[in-house]
Amino acid sequence: MASEKPKLSFSIGQVAQHTGLPQSVLRYWETVFKSLKPHKSPGGTRLYSQQDIQLILRIKSLLYENGFTIKGANIQLQKDRASAIKPDSSPVTVTQTPKKVAAHTSQNKKQKEAVISVGDLQVVLGKLKEMMNVLNS
């Protein structure tokens, strides 16, 4: 029995159905979110990748759930990209403090402390939820 390959690209109609957004919104977002650039077939059909869909879900979350403006969402997406550059694989324990969260990690038996804002944790949670949605679909 041959295994099915995961689909690598999706039409705008498929993405609209998956995200619950009208095609016109997706086309508009391409003009205001420079990081959203689906490939185009030789015939001009938009072909969205899994990464494009994840980005669309992130943008939708920022605008519709978190109340960001388009400008604010663009700024947050830039911050997301900057924070995604260097992942830390060391274990993290989180304890709540008044407006910040203290995270303690151990590397090479040395303790270091990093301060992570609640907003940053909410961004990570949003990304995880988006990934789970993509994996479950």
Torsion of CA 119, 124, 125, 127, to 10 degrees: 130
Q: For residue 3, what pLDDT is reported?
A: 59
Please give the domain boundaries of the chain with CATH numbers for all domains: 12-86 (1.10.1660.10)
Question: How many CA atoms lie within 13 Å of 101's alpha carbon, on the beta-carbon side?
Answer: 14
Separation CA 44–CA 1 (nearest Å): 35
Per-residue pLDDT of the chain (137 residues; tens, 9 = 90+): 555 666 788 999 999 999 999 999 999 999 999 999 999 989 989 999 999 999 999 999 999 999 999 999 999 999 988 887 655 555 544 444 444 444 444 444 444 445 566 666 777 778 888 887 777 76
Quickly list DSSP for 23-37.
Answer: HHHHHHHHHH-TT--
Q: For residue 118, what pLDDT is reported?
A: 65
Q: For residue 126, what pLDDT is reported?
A: 81
Torsion of CA 26, 73, 103, 114, to 10 degrees: 130
Q: How do strand 46-47 and strand 39-40 relate by DSSP bridges?
A: antiparallel
Q: For residue 4, what pLDDT is reported?
A: 65
Q: For residue 122, what pLDDT is reported?
A: 73
pTM: 0.58
